[in-house]
Amino acid sequence: MSREKIAFIGTGVMGSSMAGHLLAAGYPVSVYNRTRSKAEELLENGAVWKDSPHEATVGADVVITILGYPSDVEAVYLGSTGILSALHSDGVAIDMTTSSPLLAGIIAEVGARRGISVLDAPVSGGDLGARDASLSIMVGGDQAAYERSLPILEVMGSNIVYQGAAGAGQHTKMCNQIAIAGGMVAIGESLSYAKRSGLDPATVLQSISAGAAGSWTMSNLVPRALQGDFAPGFFVKHFLKDMKIAIESAEEMELELPGIELAKGLFEKLVAEGAKDEGTQALFRLFLDEKD
């Protein structure tokens, strides 16, 4: 059975691995990224380079995007030469960027008027999840389009859940980011306490990461920070963007979220210190480097 032709737009830290899995699974994949060098390995493995999102979309059956900011999503989908102007009717577009739930609804509505199904399918799991094809994928949009796209999503992730109508995937990702943000502050305080009390944070981690306090963040990001490794699996600047979206969405619902407001302030401090392009584990440096 012939496989659907996929256009993959955004081959950064996570997207390159995700597109690579699709190639390995036998899908024909065309790619576009603002920086071509980030797609070179994919091209060596059989992907076809395109010079724009529009060019990549023409002839594709499914378009997958994973971009930086909602403004990028809006431009790439709704621009005069955007995806929705190029994808054929009955095509499916899957935006895996963490973006605005409101924007996801608008894009899905525009797509539907053109006979195109648009899914919002943000992911969690960072660079490791992308590399291991173990991402958690949260999907909103037309359910029939979700079921059609499920074999493709299963190549990139291991926990794919349909959450509901357009925007539901993004709302679910906001729940995810709210939980992570609060948890990272708590972990940072724990590390600070360990250091101040004269304990070795790495040794403490051996105990608490295996108990009730354990989490993905504690097991995967804290060891990086303790080793001085702040390379991005997920950028500080992108996590700050996510927190701002969550807060804006909460305000629209008249919901107060004091925990994420606190976390946002700490990540803004990191950005002010020049750490916007580091990994989110840089947050722990604020707690470990504090003077006694």
Residue 222 lies in a domain: yes
State yes or no: pLDDT of 252 exceeds 90.
yes
Looking at residue 292, its pLDDT comes to: 45
Same structural domain for residues 183 and 147?
Answer: no
User: Which residues constitute the domain of residue 193?
Assistant: 171-288
pLDDT in tens, 168-206: 999 999 999 999 999 999 999 999 999 999 999 999 999
Q: What is the mean pLDDT of residues 231-242?
A: 93
This model's pTM is above 0.85: yes
Indicate which CATH number applies to the domain containing 12: 3.40.50.720
Q: Residue 263 pLDDT more than 70?
A: yes
Name, in order, each residue with C-beta under 8 angstroms of 77's C-beta and a sequence gap of 6 or more. Answer: 65, 83, 84, 93, 95, 107, 110, 118
Tens of pLDDT along 114-169? 999 999 999 999 889 999 999 999 999 999 999 999 999 999 999 999 999 999 99
Please tell me the predicted confidence (pLDDT) of residue 2. Answer: 63
Final residue in a domain of this structure, among 133, 165, 197: 165
For residue 233, pLDDT beyond 90: no
Q: Are residues 14 and 152 in the same domain?
A: yes
Q: Is residue 202 part of a domain?
A: yes
Tokens of 130: 């992308």
Does any domain span residue 97?
A: yes
241 found inside a domain: yes
Whether 176 and 232 map to the same domain: the answer is: yes
User: Helix 236-252 crosses helix 168-196 at what angle (to 10 degrees)?
Assistant: 120
User: Pick from 165, 200, 230: which residue ends a domain?
Assistant: 165
What is residue 291's three-state secondary structure?
A: coil
Claim to verify: residue 70 and residue 150 sit in the same structural domain? yes
Q: Choosing from 5, 50, 173, 269, which is the catalytic residue?
A: 173
Helices (H) and strands (E) in the chain — how many of each? 15, 9
Of 117, 136, 165, which residue sits at a domain end? 165
For the ranges 14-23, 73-82, 251-260, 283-292, which has the lowest average pLDDT? 283-292
Q: Could you give the percent of the chain with pLDDT greater than 70?
A: 98
291 is catalytic: no
User: Quick check: 1 pLDDT over 50?
Assistant: no
**pLDDT (mean) for 224-228:** 95
Q: For the chain, what is the domain count? A: 2
| Confidence (pLDDT) at 291 | 55
